[in-house]
Structure 1
Amino acid sequence: MTSGTNQIQSSVCGIDDDKIHLCNYVSLFVNLKSLEAVSMLHIGIPCTSVLPPPPPPRAPNFRRFIWASSIQRKGSYKGPKPGRDWIADWVSKNDDAVRSLPIYVGGASLLAILFNRAISGIAPVADASSSQSRADLLTLGLAVTNVLTGLVWLSIRPKSIIPVEPQGVERQVIYSHLPESVVSEIHWAWESLSTVTCCRSLVIVYDFQCIAQIGVAAKSLNDNEPITVDAAKLMQGSLCQGVLKSGAQSYLANLSLYPGRTELPFLPSNTQAVILQPLGDRGIAILGGDTIRGFTTSDQAWISYMGEKLDATLAKYSSDMPLVVQECFASPGSDVS
């Protein structure tokens, strides 16, 4: 029946026998695969389809701690090491010999010129037409230049900057009428400045009144008593007026070079450096140091912040200060602690 049907289809559709046989083979192959799959399901054979493997289990995410130690074992550091300038070290240790070296070189050059002139058989009188004479004149000028350079090096030496001992008397005066918090803050400021910086004298003036004078003060010539601060005269001086108008810190790195040092008679006579720190627009703090250029850049910045802190503290009690000071001037024996 199947062959009859194929003949009918071939006669109807016009398909040749080879193509019909090929279609039969394909349909037979599909039927066999279907029967194989059905039998596998009936007998319980698992399906062997290829699936991607499951991802591996993820490790727990624990925090990692790295312990850093400043103690290194010997030979563990492999980075670059700071170099050492041996020439600079040798020159610093033999300063006198290095300064005298040009004199020795120049003197030896002069002797060599005379010796060469003596054994060369040339007349001792310089002859401009002789090349040897011209060479001797040139070397003679270089030798004299070396000798003069050595003399200059020996005469000019850099001045060593060392701290000096302030010439005066110790003084610590703070108005006892101030609140305890203000007094403790002034003490804190003085202890910090005297410990960390080269400050040896501290004067605080606020609202034309001297609030504190701590450290070494100049002594009078008559009775060796400390010189007190004339706050009204001080605030009218050019130094304080300039600082208050600008609102910026003024640093006198070498006080002996400034003519305005006469406005600070209460500081020791050998004060080396001074910082004038404004306290807002109503006061000023004066710090005297024992070393030329002794206050570093970081010291100046820190003193500026400290001045702002003192200004904020003193401003809280500024309304009571004039009355307190008047009482202090009326009874000098009870104005200081």
Structure 2
Amino acid sequence: MAKADRNQVLRQLPLVVGGLAGVLLLFNRLLTPELTQSQARSDALGVILSAVLILTGLLWQQVQARSPDAVELIGEEGFELAPSLPDAVRTELAWASHLLLTNTATRSIVVWYQGKVLLRRGILGTNPEVKPGEILQRVLSKQKPVYLVNLTLYPGRIEFDFIPENTQGVICQPIGKDGVLILGANAPRSYTKQDETWIAGIADKLEVSLSYYLNDVAPAEI
């Protein structure tokens, strides 16, 4: 059974148990020829417990968020690095992308730096080139990440033709002033605040390495 199905069963369990208990108490009362004081007290307690279970079930239906529906991204899985990259940069990009793919909802990764695509990994889009549109330009100019929680709702999604066309959520994280780390997820609203903080830390680490090996700038102390 899928995780979403298990959560649905758990949300409905108090309703089912509370309703069943209430029905059994009713039948027990109807089939009892003579009601004693002790049974009356037991019935009253049972009714209260059944009501609490039903109320809990109703609250769970409203309060507990349903897991976002994931889709299977359209495209082929792959791992591409730009040619002629130093071995240290290749290792750094491989390490960072592996962590993101295995520890977050990320299914597609693109690293764009100094006008070039340095890495594509995960489910690949059909277009291997990145031409920064309005959203990526804003990320670069303001040096602040953009998280599109549900990409299908944004008209600007057309600029993300370099990731799978049915990508559900996108994070664009600046890599200094020269690059962007673009992450695509297969479900909307799938990144947590902790994920966003961690992604920002990885992007900062990439900035140090890329600026050092590609620009001959000494890395800052971390």
Please give the range of the TM-score, normalised by the shorter of the 2 chains: 0.5 to 0.7
Q: Of 202, 218, 232, which residue of structure 1 is paired with 2:109? A: 202
State the shift of 1:182 in Å: 1.0
CA RMSD of aligned residues (A): 2.5
In structure 2, runs of 5+ residues without a counterpart are 1-9, 20-64, 217-222
The corresponding residue for 2:14 is: 90
Q: 1:308 to 1:90 in 2, by over 3 A?
A: same
- Aligned to 1:177, the other structure's residue is in SS state coil
Alignment of 1:248-263 (within 5 A): 248-263=144-159
- Aligned to 1:90, the other structure's residue is in SS state helix
Alignment of 1:9-48 (within 5 A): none
Alignment of 1:186-225 (within 5 A): 186-218=93-125
The corresponding residue for 1:175 is: 82
From the CA coordinates, give the structure whose radius of gyration is larger.
1
Structure 1 stretches of at least 4 aligned residues deviating more than 3 Å after TM superposition: 86-89
1:277 aligns with 2:184: no
Alignment of 1:104-115 (within 5 A): none
1:312 aligns with 2:212: no
Quick check: which one's strand share is greater?
2
1:302 aligns with 2:195: no
State the shift of 1:195 in Å: 0.7
Q: Of 185, 194, 201, which residue of structure 1 is paired with 2:92? A: 185
1:290 aligns with 2:211: no
State the shift of 1:319 in Å: 3.5
2:209 maps to a residue whose letter is T
Distance in structure 1 (CA, Å) of the matches to 2:106 and 2:11: 36
The corresponding residue for 1:228 is: 128
Deviations 1:87-127 (A, max 9, x none): 97423x69xx9xxxxxxxxxxxxxxxxxxxxxxxxxxxxxx
Q: 1:181 to 1:159 in 2, by over 3 A?
A: same
- Aligned to 1:318, the other structure's residue is in SS state helix
CA contact (8 A) 2:174 2:180 kept: yes
The corresponding residue for 1:267 is: 163
- Aligned to 1:267, the other structure's residue is in SS state coil
CA contact (8 A) 2:68 2:190 kept: no
Q: 1:162 to 1:174 in 2, by over 3 A?
A: same
The corresponding residue for 1:327 is: none
1:247 maps to a residue whose letter is Q
Distance in structure 1 (CA, Å) of the matches to 2:203 and 2:13: 42
Distance in structure 1 (CA, Å) of the matches to 2:174 and 2:11: 46
State the shift of 1:173 in Å: 1.1
The TM-score, its normalising length taken from structure 1, stands at: 0.45
Distance in structure 1 (CA, Å) of the matches to 2:104 and 2:70: 12
Distance in structure 2 (CA, Å) of the matches to 1:284 and 1:271: 18
Distance in structure 1 (CA, Å) of the matches to 2:79 and 2:208: 22
1:181 maps to a residue whose letter is A
- Aligned to 1:317, the other structure's residue is in SS state helix
How many residues are treated as equivalent by the alignment? 162
In structure 1, runs of 5+ residues without a counterpart are 1-85, 98-157, 219-225, 321-337
Deviations 1:217-264 (A, max 9, x none): 23xxxxxxx3212x3x22xx1011111121111111111111111001
Deviations 1:295-324 (A, max 9, x none): 11100000001000001110012338xxxx
The corresponding residue for 2:48 is: none
